[in-house]
Structure formats: structure tokens, C-alpha cells
Amino acid sequence: MALVSINPYNGIELARYDVMPEAEVIEVLERVASTQQEWAAASFADRAACFRKLAALLRDGVNGFADLMTREMGKTIGASRAEIEKCALGCEYFADNAEALLEPTMADVGVNKSYVAYRPIGVVLALMPWNYPFWQVLRCAAPAMMAGNAIVLKHANNVTGCAIAIEQLFVDAGFPQDALRNLVIDIPLIESVIRHDAIAAVSLTGSTRAGKSVGRIAGESLKKCVLELGGSDPFVVLEDADLDLAVSEGVKSRIQNNGQSCIAAKRFIVVDAIRPAFERAFVEKMAAAKMGDPFDESTDLGPMARLDLRDTLTCQVDGSVARGAKVLTGGDVPKEPGAFYPATVLGEVSAGMPAYEEELFGPAAALIAARDTDEALRIANDTVYGLGAAIFTENLELGETLARDRIQAGACFVNAFTKSDPRLPFGGIRASGFGRELGAHGMHEFVNVKTVVVA
């Protein structure tokens, strides 16, 4: 059996990768578990040196890595280069700050000495998605490995080439040979890998359905897991919003990564007083998005990553229209080859429609009308998800209050679209998962929080 990588721009097969026999998988797990003890014994300075070298290699090889990402999953070449730079910055952030973030916490309990130490937990299985092939891996690996853990990577099948390149990068950067290993396996073998004694914890970025399955298996195995799952992020535009800013940020958020981002704005909830003006400008700007060759620097929107993903989005859009939504732009599958779907805006979206209830993982936006601020917030929270959100208002004090106290999500941005940053925790609530990546909180997810008392 082989895993197949297909270029979504033209449908041409890029490569086939033979899957590992189960015996080889077990051998890899055991080797990584052994190497983890060696890595945990290394100093923060030694670990940091490896990650700084990794950052340098990423920048040196940016064009080749970007080319690989664009060919395997279709993101525009500019977005691919930006992803590599973000990976380098993430490596440097954790190299510079991990030791301080894991500094023991002193506690005075009336004895000679007492404190909380943060020690590595072991081997983390990273189950990673295709939409950010390098960043998703590095945002898990950098904090986990700087804490002294090792990584076993199972990447999405269609970006196996990226996974192999990442594994080689770690070797070239001077990490121990088996500190990060990639498994070329298909989905059915994942359960036995999770249950293997070598695995101490699991990090999954993926769909809510995948999260439920992985969470169940990890729970049965009594293994810590972090689940970063789907989102149907609200983008709330209040009456006093800067219209030009809201439209510009909304379009960027909706078509970034060809519309395939868990924290992209999906439901655009606009109060009635500003809705007609927002709708006109937003539709015009979405309609102007240039769809085409992802290697063309002027392209705004490349193909979706796979044809089946486009089929799912098409069904969601068509299902919403059948229930009364109106196509304001886009909505038709192009006739040319490739997994293309145009920038699409649906108006008159309401509860019960797929565009309201489900995650649209592609360049389609749902416009939802709200009478006032209170109704806008009610609609924003009327979802099973809770990953990210955005609020646009000129009243910054009000925006901050609503973001902090009223929106139910793992992150809420005021007057900007939601994005991740190595310095800030990232993750969601409810059907968007639990646990955090990045920042101090991400550093603490995969450590043993150990109480030490010296009487």
C-alpha cells in the first residue's frame, strides 16, 4: 500500500510513499522513546542551539520548502514563504524563552524548600493536518521538545513529502537522530500507535470528528491529549465599526490559505445599521479575488487541497441555498482542472442552514444579519464551536469588554482578524477542543507538573 500525493492545481500525481510495516513502526517508537531520555538530559542551551540552527535552515531553504507546500496542498507561494518564516520565528521564540517559561514555581509551605518543577512527560505523538504543513508541526514540536520531550509525527497523507522534509530538517539541525521521527502510515494504524507504551501524550489538530476519536482512545489509554479542532468563527461588525477596515480584514481572513484555516472568519454577523454598506463592499472585494495558479505571485486564491474537500464545501453551499440563502457572488464550481472553488458570499443565512451550523472549510462566507449588538453576540455564541472570534467597533473599551466577557471562544480579536502567535496561547473550547499550544500555556501542556518538598 502507498500514500499518494496529488497536486491540487492540476491533478497530477506528485509521489507515492510506501507505508511502513507495523514492525518498523514499533521499532521507530522504541527508538524515539530511548532517544527522548537522552534529549531530556540535554541542557536548555543545547536544545536551544538546535532550534536556532533549525530556524536558520528554514530560512536558507525557504524557496524549496515553500515550493513543496504549494505543490502538495495548493497554498499560494507567498503564503508558503510566509509560513516558513513563521516557523523560524516560532523556533527562535521557544529557544529564547523556554528556560524562563519552565522556571520552577516556588511555594512557601513552612518547610525547608518547596516548589513546583516542570519536567518532560516523554514522547508526544503529533497528529497533524495538511493546511499548514510546516507550521502545525513546528508549533507543536518547538515547545514540546524545548521542554525535553521527543516527537513522533503522523502527518496528513497528502503532505507526506512535507513530513519527510521536516524529519530531515531536524537531523540537519543537529538534533539526535530519533528525537523527531515521521511515521508513513495510514489512518487505521493510528489507534495502535496511540496505545503503544512508548507514547506518553497526543497532540491532534484536525476535525471535531477526528478529535472525538483520538480523545476517546487517549482517554482509554490514560494519556494526556491536546485537541485543536474545527471552528465556525464569528466576525462581528458593530454599527460604529470602521467599514473599510472591517471589509479588508474580513476578506483577508476568509480567503487566507485558500479559505482553509480553522481560525478563519466564517460567519459574518453584521448589525442592520451597517449591514447594507458592509455587504456591498464585502461582496465586491470577495468577487475581485483572483483565483488561479498558486505559483503566480498575483494569485489571491489557489485551489483547495483536495477534490473531496471541494465537494464537501459545494454540498454545504448548495444545501444552504436550498434552505433560503442567496448567492451574492461565487458559488459555482469552475470547469477548469484543479480543486478550485471561487470566493463565495452567501446572504440571508439563518439558523438551520449548513452555512450557519457547520464549519465552511473553504473560501465561502456566510452573511448573517443582526438587529443590534446584543443579537449579534447571541448569534456569535450560537455555535457548537469556540475557537476564535473577531469584533469590529471604534469603541475600544466596549470591544475589549465584549471580547473578554461576552464572546465564548479561545481567542477574540478587536479590529483585527484572528491569528496565532508563538507568544500567545492558542486553542478552543467546546467542539473546538481543549488544551493550548504556543505561549507559556503551550509550554506547560506536555510536562509533568511535579511538586518537590524538602523538609
Which residue is catalytic, options 83, 92, 167, 228?
Answer: 228
Which residue is catalytic, options 262, 279, 412, 437?
Answer: 262
Answer yes or no: 262 catalytic. yes
Taking the C-alpha atoms of residue 418 and residue 410, their distance in angstroms, rounded to an integer, is 10
Sheet holding 224-228, edge to edge: 180-182, 150-154, 123-127, 199-205, 224-228, 433-434
Q: Are 234 and 390 in contact (CB under 8 A)?
A: yes
**Residue found by looking up cell 439558523 in the block:** 351
Other C-beta atoms lying within 10 Å of the C-beta of residue 450? 11
Taking the C-alpha atoms of residue 420 and residue 442, their distance in angstroms, rounded to an integer, is 12
Q: Which of 233, 234, 236, 242 is nearest to 395 (CA)?
A: 242
For residue 279, what are the CA distances in angstroms to 63, 99, 345? 38, 49, 9
Say how many Å lie between the first and final Cα of the chain, rounded.
Answer: 59
Structural element, H or E, at residue 22: helix 22-41
Taking the C-alpha atoms of residue 375 and residue 381, their distance in angstroms, rounded to an integer, is 10
Q: What is the Cα Rg of the chain in Å?
A: 22
Structural element, H or E, at residue 397: helix 396-401
CA atoms within 13 A on the CB side of 433: 32
Structural element, H or E, at residue 99: helix 77-101
Answer yes or no: 50 catalytic. no
**Residue found by looking up cell 537531523 in the block:** 171
In sequence order, which ranges of 119-181 are alpha helices (DSSP H)?
135-146, 160-172
Catalytic site positions: 228, 262
